[in-house]
Amino acid sequence: MSKVYPTTALEDWVTSFYLKLKIKKPSEISEDYIAKRNEIFIKRDKIPSRYDVVGRFRAITIDIRKDKLKQREIFFHELCHILRHSGRQGMIPEAFRQLQEWDARNFVRYAAIPNHMLHYIDLNDSSVIDNMVHLFKVTPELCTERLIQIEKRKYLKKQMSISI
């Protein structure tokens, strides 16, 4: 598979994570499957979303008052904290907490619309955002962010090849 643009280490991490779980198509991205394979309990309730790690117990609580597309994004955000971060956010220095939040926001983009699945999207289609929403089941806002990110990286790749 040829890459649309040079990927980041986090994008490569997400792709590797998905391929280990045998997730190769957008329809295979399932919060329940990902949680089960990683021994993470999911609770859906009318309370603020969060993650919990107590010893070996790991859980994600998803606020069902949010719409379904937003709930999926919340799942990816909390999943990032469980898989990639350590420490309780209330107990770590503010700068480190901000770094973890930055990482989680980026993780959401890559977990929701992974690089190894970009070939399922026609980036030149005028309905690309609607198609991404349907295919990846996330908000139009997240699809727009990811599309802008893809276009910027493609542009940088082109500029790098011109300057070499």
Run of H or E including 57: strand 57-63
The domain spans of the chain are 9-163
Is 72 in contact with 108 (CB distance < 8 Å)? no
Task: Look at 46-50, 52-56, 97-101, 160-164 and tell me which has the smallest mean pLDDT.
Answer: 160-164
For residue 50, pLDDT beyond 50: yes
List pLDDT tens digits, range 74-133. Answer: 999 999 999 998 656 556 777 877 888 889 999 999 999 999 999 999 999 999 999 999
Q: Give all strands of the β-sheet with 50-54 in edge-to-edge order.
A: 41-45, 57-63, 50-54
Strands 50-54 and 57-63: antiparallel
Is 152 in contact with 146 (CB distance < 8 Å)? no
| Cβ atoms within 10 Å, residue 124 | 6
